[in-house]
Amino acid sequence: MDATSTTGASVPRPVLILDFDGTVALGDGPLLAYARAVAAHAASADALVTAVAAHLAAPSADAIDGYDVVRRVAVAEGIGEDALAAAYTASRAQLGTDEAPVTVAAGLASFLRTTDAERLLVTNAPATRLDAALASLGLEGLFDRIITDAAKPAGLETLLDSLDEDVPVLAVGDVWRNDLAPAHARGHATALVGGYPDPTADPTYRAATLDELLPALAEWVATAHVPFSA
């Protein structure tokens, strides 16, 4: 439903689009679970997991995200795409367990609970254990829509196409090319979180952690509800 100001002007309800891994769900737990599953195909499982942990602690400048770090280490060991895909699927079955623990920004649940915006969770990951992970993070029921297997960046383009042109949008994520670039190209606001640099990134907001970004996101939502006056 549209918000209505005291002047009677109708303002479309803003839309927040949040990524999951590396944005909502934090920590190296799922990445190390993926590495351990990949390591079953390596000459030395312990050596591969150790190498992944070292690269996660100090990723190369051209790494896209933590999953790309695991992939690069695996490919260097001669592990093929089929084995990587199977390992990823196996690791997602551990999401949010002691084998693949995740944490969440301390203020995110409160922000989502109180913000006056449509809250979308859009992830390239499958639905496997996603509901359980959200519940463990205290985020159960705090998203209006959850889109899995989103195939971003193309899938984000499709989602944006489905929204009315005048709807204010803020996309939040840790991978510029997948989570934010399509929104930025349409003039929407973007918020980049995390430590993987991208020289092409030009976000509206940027911070190392989501907690640091939450005040700016709250201000954006409040401003998005104010009708434009010519």
Least Cα distance to 141 among 104, 116, 171, 109 occurs for: 109
Domain boundaries, the chain: 3-26+103-224, 29-92
Give CA separation, 20 vs 61, 83, 103, 121, 136, in Å: 22, 24, 11, 7, 14
Pick among 3.40.50.460, 3.40.50.1000, 3.40.640.10, 3.40.50.920: CATH of 3-26+103-224 = 3.40.50.1000
pLDDT at 227 over 50: yes
pLDDT at residue 228 in the model: 53
The reported pTM is 0.92
225 or 137: which leads in pLDDT: 137
pLDDT class for 197, splitting at 50, 70, 90? confident
pLDDT tens digits, residue range 30-57? Answer: 999 999 999 999 999 999 999 999 999 9
**Alpha carbons 202 and 190: distance in angstroms, whole number:** 8
Supply the angle between the helices 29-39 and 66-76 in degrees, to the nearest 10.
20
The pLDDT of residue 11: 72
Alpha-carbon distance of 37 to 31, in angstroms, equals 10
Q: How far is CA 15 from CA 79, 120, 154, 224, in A?
A: 40, 7, 18, 9
Contact 61, 197 (CB under 8 A): yes
User: Within 13 Å of residue 158, how many CA atoms lie on the same side as its CB?
Assistant: 9
